[in-house]
Amino acid sequence: MQVKCPTCRREIEWSAAPSRPFCSERCRLIDLGAWLTQRNAIPGEPAPGEPEASPDWPRSTET
Ligand SMILES: [Zn+2]
């Protein structure tokens, strides 16, 4: 069965890939590193369930 490596998109043989679904240990670490970097790169990530703009936002000065 042929699958595509999520990191480099290279087609690999599933049964012959020791680091599947990646083509190699290197690609596996790259994907893991990218995932961690993305998480750590967003310090001001809004908490889940918190709306970006509240409907009760004070706008009484506008008429
Ligand atoms: Zn790869």
Residue 52 lies in a domain: no
> How many whole angstroms from 8 Cα to the centroid of ligand 1?
4
The predicted pLDDT at position 52 comes to 66
pLDDT single digits (tens) 16-60: 988 989 999 999 999 999 888 887 766 666 667 756 666 666 777
Whether the full predicted model's pTM is greater than 0.75, yes or no, is no
> How many whole angstroms from 4 Cα to the centroid of ligand 1?
8
Residue 46 lies in a domain: no
> How many whole angstroms from 36 Cα to the centroid of ligand 1?
18
**DSSP element (H, E) containing 30:** helix 25-40
| Contact between 5 and 23 (Cβ < 8 Å) | yes
> How many whole angstroms from 10 Cα to the centroid of ligand 1?
6
Instruction: Tell me the β-bridge partners of 13.
Output: 2
Reply yes or no on whether the pLDDT at 62 is more than 70: no
Counted domains in the chain: 1
Residue 48 lies in a domain: no
Residue 6's domain comprises: 2-40
| Contact between 19 and 27 (Cβ < 8 Å) | yes
Query: What is the domain-level CATH number for residue 36?
Result: 3.30.50.10
Residue 32 lies in a domain: yes
Residue 53 lies in a domain: no
> How many whole angstroms from 40 Cα to the centroid of ligand 1?
23
